[in-house]
Structure 1
């Protein structure tokens, strides 16, 4: 597997997906090597390349090369440098070891993954976790967005087998890259429910720390980016507080939209009712999830929504938009309450539905947790992924031209 994130280097859900899948495959008896990187901003003196076995998985973690490149400022150059380091490490450190299949995760590893598949002459399986066009509602209006889109297109067309994490993403990928959807397999994210339990004393402690008192507590957790829709949740908070006085909102996470969200809370006159916690350790997060009266996931774009699984595992009532894969994870009226992305009034009504009827919310929460064991079990997902590996056949090497990128909205 080739991935630009792998614990403890985690940016979003992709890193947790790759880790869980790799560990389950190793537990099932497969020999798994993960090619990944050291933290951004480090170098070979502080974080040298390492080659070690963890949880049954051999992890080759590559040091950053000497050039002063920053992901935020030099994304494409930084990504190419990372790929060069990965390729060099794999070719010089794996010796005579050869895989039966190479599995690449997202466009950031397109260059090393394609090169290694060509050199090793093995099938290339690709999981597309998200798309640039999807993040920006179909607009590729900057040179960077067009560069990322073209790298995604290249990786998708070069793949011998293609995977997405939801049916919604399969439709999106097929449309964006002009592919036959029947050749795209859907393999959901999964979760190990046992890791999200918290004892009652810890739950009381975090509730007192972040939201003392008896008033309702809402929680958003995840990356703070525009497509996550947290601005819509903040916009809905005045309506929610009118119906449920004193309601507080905890926003847990980091991202480029953090400052804008503070400004939004100020503009809607709810800044004193919103606590920005930053990124929480997993133990604290599990307790905060259990302490919340509702977890709200207001995404405008969401390929899957692994945070919904984590909330369900912790036993938190769910309110989520129907964006992308979230509509497949949260079943409206059964495992949570849903609303259309960007609909602030509907968001407020859904949250109100949870707060007004705790007994019904508890029934949905139990149903959500029960569903984790059948629909989102990592052992089953890993076994289903192996069927993709087994069916992948290496095609002839084809030199691809550049994709044509529409000047308007790529979703038409």
Structure 2
């Protein structure tokens, strides 16, 4: 299994997904090796280059020179360097494998190399797409380059896994995949991992919102996550709910822009940007909040909605992508059209004002988590995809890539 993030390196939901899936596969009796990039623990101590944790063998590849920063301008060069080090780490460690499982385009070159080296099938999980993040458009050369790598990944893969029915439509449309090649395998959550100690919950509440409601956002700070819409909604919410605090937990390239946005909207004093919240703090943050808001403009799945539900926090989410399959309006949460600030405001205000509603949707969402999103079931479905991939392709052949022609316009228009 290849992933550009894995504990202790966590950037978003992908790393948590790979960790939970790998450990669940081990519990089911499979041998799992994760090849990922090197990182340090929260206390600054280096993570081991080769170790077994929770039954998973983890190979961590240090960054090769030149020491490139991870920025938009250097992203492709950084990714190529990463793939070189991942490939070397995997080949040096040796081992025999039945399948290679790649998570997103950032590890594609290493995954394809290992697939052909070991002559085993490749399974790819597409967690999001470049065109999807840009509402169907590929506005610049970098976007088109990433799209071409995503296309190559799905071409080389025997099975393409996605986290929602909406994502299945998206990848099938973008990469012209036959229906038999794609499979929905949902994300999951471990409810026990989000059972915070009462003392930790009280500490988070007293720290962030001692005098009024606490509204939480948790996720990356990028445009498609819609944090700007929550900031605009805060203007009305603070008038309706005195003492309200909006806590933004996360980091990303738009962090400074969003802080400026809050100031210009006049809510800078009502919003706290607390940076990335790790697995030690996140459960207590969820439980301390009166409401989690997921205002995404684009969201293949929406793992934070499941995590908040597991922690017993009511969820307000935009009606987009995989979120629409988790948050049923008025049943397991409240939803609103993406980008609709007025509807977002009303939904959050309803949760904060109506305690019976809040309790009802929270209980229903928690029941949904227990019945539908357990990692053991997800691991079983993933193992089934491995078996199908192996059955479809017993021996690998090197094939020439066909020419990729990227059409102009919106690639995800549903009217076309």
TM range (shorter): over 0.9
1:353 aligns with 2:354: no
C-alpha contact (below 8 Å) 2:8/2:47 kept by paired residues? no
CA separation in 1, counterparts of 2:286 and 2:90? 40
Q: Partners in 2 of 1:326 and 1:36 — Cα distance?
A: 28
* Alignment size in residue pairs: 404
Q: 2:133 aligns with which of 135, 159, 171?
A: 135
Q: Does 1:70 align with 2:76?
A: no
Q: Which of structure 1's runs of 4+ aligned residues deviate more than 3 A?
A: 46-49
How far did 1:146 drift?
A: 0.7
Alignment correspondent of 2:225: 228
Of residues 320, 324, 328 in structure 1, which corresponds to 2:321?
Answer: 324
Q: 1:199 to 1:54 in 2, by over 3 A?
A: closer
Equivalent-residue separation in structure 1 for 2:404 and 2:227 (angstroms): 33
Q: Which of 363, 366, 374 is the aligned partner of 1:366?
A: 363
For structure 1, the residue ranges without an aligned partner over 5 or more in a row are 41-45
1:8-407 alignment, distance < 5 Å: 8-39=8-39, 50-72=49-71, 73-94=73-94, 97-213=95-211, 215-392=212-389, 393-394=392-393, 396-407=397-408
Offset of residue 282 of structure 1: 2.7
Q: Is the 8 A contact 2:164 2:186 kept in 1?
A: yes
Contact 1:126/1:156 (CA < 8 Å) preserved in 2? Answer: yes
CA contact (8 A) 2:39 2:47 kept: no
Per the TM alignment, residue 48 of structure 1 is displaced from its structure 2 partner at its CA by: 8.8
SS in 2 for 1:405: coil
Give yes or no for contact 2:158–2:181 (8 Å, CA) kept in 1.
Answer: no
The SS at the match of 1:271 is coil
Give the C-alpha shift of residue 21 in structure 1.
0.6
Secondary structure in structure 2 of the residue aligned to 1:275: strand
1:277-322: CA deviation from partner (whole Å, max 9, x where unpaired): 1122433322221121111110001111111111011110110011
8 Å contact 1:320–1:330 — kept in the other structure?
yes
TM-score, normalised relative to structure 2: 0.94
TM superposition shift of 1:202: 2.3
Match of 1:43? none
> TM-score of the superposition, structure 1-length normalised?
0.95
Unaligned runs of at least 5 residues, structure 2 = none
Give CA-to-partner distance per residue, 1:239-294, whole Å, 9 cap, x none: 22233233221111111111111111111111111111112243332222112111
Q: Displacement of 1:39 after TM fit?
A: 3.2
- How far the C-alpha of 1:47 sits from its partner, in A, is 6.0
